[in-house]
Structure formats: structure tokens, C-alpha cells
Amino acid sequence: MLPLGAPVDVAGSSFDFREPKPVRRDWLRDPQQATAGGYDHAFLLDPECADLAVPAVEVTASDARVGLAISTSLPALQFYSGQLLGGTPARDGAPYAPCAGLAFEPGFLPDSPNHPEWPQPSCWLLPGQTYRHRIRYRFTAG
């Protein structure tokens, strides 16, 4: 979903994932989630994530059999809760149900080129500049 204004603090909202919680805990609690049918929102990351010392996101499957941590030098992370996966064929041929998976996409906030006032580095790559960012994926098995 494209942002319609300046970034908003997540404190106390259904978008507050600063402490671990199940994704379903605050499912569709916010009007923005209802519009998207789930999470499909960008999160501006805390600056300390940029050096990759602190993961931008850590997620563990509900059965604790697999986990993922993503570290990135990029300033934002798009979180998509898979609401449009319904009907997509799985490996066994059966269709996935809606929300059968999650996606985390490091990058810049959507529509960034049109919002130089947003608190993130410039997303413009000028002639002679090099685009260089890092993303680290760490998988764990339980």
C-alpha cells in the first residue's frame, strides 16, 4: 500500500512489532490493515539497523521449526502478510490458503522519490554514484 502521509510512530498500534508478538494478535485491528486485507505496509527502520549489527526483523514459525532474521543497510522494510496467496499452487499441488506465508522486502519507503522530506537517505542514484546496500538473511531450524 502506498503511504498517504508522513511516517507515523507505531507505538501502541497494530503495527508495533518492537517486542515479539504473533502476527495474528492484532490482525485487522487497524483500518489500514482492513483496507489492505492484512499487513502490506512499509516500516521505516531505526538507524542502528543500518550497520547490520541489529536485525531489522526476526520471525519464527508458529511451530518454532524455522526462523528468519534479516539485517539490512536499507532504510525501510515492506511487510506483506500473504493475503493474496490463496489459490497459488504449492509444491504438493494443493493451493495455498490466503496468508499462508509472509514476505519482508528491504528497500526505501514506497513513493520515496516524491517525498524528499521523509526521514531517510535519498533514494535517488545520480550519474557517477554507485548503489551499494547489504541484506543479510539468517535462517535457523528448531
CA 55, CA 140: separation in Å to the nearest integer? 14
pLDDT tens per residue across span 112-122: 998 888 888 88
pLDDT tens per residue across span 31-63: 989 999 999 999 999 989 999 999 999 999 999
What confidence score (pLDDT) does residue 7 get? Answer: 86
Number of alpha carbons in the 13 Å side-chain half-sphere of residue 34: 3
CA 107, CA 120: separation in Å to the nearest integer? 11
What confidence score (pLDDT) does residue 1 get? Answer: 62
The 8-class DSSP code of residue 47 comes to G
pLDDT greater at residue 57 or residue 1: 57
The answer to whether 69 and 55 are in contact (CB under 8 A) is yes
Question: Where are the chain's structural domains?
Answer: 23-115+128-141
Indicate the pTM of the whole model: 0.90
- Write the CB contacts of 87 (distance below 8 Å, at least 6 apart in sequence): 95, 96
CA 42, CA 117: separation in Å to the nearest integer? 16
Q: What value does the mean pLDDT take over residues 87-96?
A: 94
